[in-house]
Structure 1
């Protein structure tokens, strides 16, 4: 795939959705961090329902510490793997209070030092909360990048590096959101909806479907 074709792909995605963002509900960097921690192997809808119960009661690291582990679990028990997620979130809150004055750090190394925070989560926080042009590669973005030919790679780090290299600079800030939403609703895993895809003629996937 050449640079001109990539530019046109992102220009179309931008025209269709000029201001994309995460579907997780959040109002502070900590709320976003907590929501992303809770979202592993869970839907954004399910996480939003849980945080709608949790955040009015506790939406800062200290408030969650004060809530206690049992209280935290009670608020998020509808989410899969909630026991492990509660433990990680509680440990993260203690680190934020003790090492970062209760604030979410703005560096990758500090974020990845938090329990349950890997490269993908760190990229989401850096991009969405702090406006850095990082690209977090999840299963949707990995699939779309390989299927379309935008950035082919054998693993998520390889795809991320190619996206950073190949996505035109003017589109890099929002590329993560456009690709994840495209993968979630159009370029879905089993039967991509090629018939209603706005970049179908630019996509290099050989096995296109007619599904709308």
Structure 2
């Protein structure tokens, strides 16, 4: 795939969705951080249902510390890995209060030092909350990048590095959102919806599904 085709792919994704954003519900940078932390190996829908139970009354670092581990665990027990996530959330809140005046740091190293916050979560927060042109590669973006030929790689870090090199600068801020939504709703894992795809003619996938 050459740069001209890559540029056209993002032009079309932008035309179809000029202002993409996360589907997680949040009202502050802190709430975004917690929602993304909880979303690992879980759907955004399940996270939104869970956070709606406690964000309104306890959606701050101090609020969650005051809520406590047991109550938080009960609120998020419908989410995968909820026990570990609950512990990480409380520990993260304590660190934010002790080291960052209760604010989410605009810094990758500081974010990745928080319990349960890996590279992908840090990238989402840096991009969505602080406007950094980062690309957080999850299973959807990994699949779309490899399947289309946009940026092939053997692991998520390799794909991330490749995307950082090949995505045109003017599209880099929103690239993460366009690709994840494309993978979630069109370029799905088992049977991609190629007949509905706006970039099918630019895609290098050899086993495209045919119209019924």
Query: TM (normalized to structure 1)?
Result: 0.98
What SS does structure 2 have at the residue aligned with 1:201?
helix
Q: 2:192 maps to what in 1? A: 192
Q: Give the drift of 1:40.
A: 1.2
Give the alignment of 1:143-162 within 5 angstroms: 143-162=143-162
**RMSD of aligned C-alpha atoms?**
0.9
Q: 1:36 maps to what in 2? A: 36
List per-residue Cα deviations over 1:48-104 (Å, max 9, x = no partner). 011111101201101100111112112212212211110000000000000000000
Structure 2: which 5+ runs fail to align? none
Q: Give the drift of 1:198.
A: 0.1
Q: Give the drift of 1:211.
A: 4.8
Matches of 1:150 and 1:192, distance apart in 2: 16
Q: 1:109 to 1:69 in 2, by over 3 A?
A: same
Matches of 1:193 and 1:75, distance apart in 2: 35
Q: 2:136 maps to what in 1? A: 136
Matches of 1:79 and 1:57, distance apart in 2: 20
Q: 1:56 maps to what in 2? A: 56
Give the alignment of 1:157-168 within 5 angstroms: 157-168=157-168
Query: TM (normalized to structure 2)?
Result: 0.98
What SS does structure 1 have at the residue aligned with 2:31?
helix
Cα pair 1:127 1:134 within 8 Å, conserved: yes
Q: How many residues align?
A: 212
Cα pair 1:96 1:104 within 8 Å, conserved: yes
Matches of 1:80 and 1:197, distance apart in 2: 31
What SS does structure 1 have at the residue aligned with 2:208?
coil
Structure 1: which 5+ runs fail to align? none
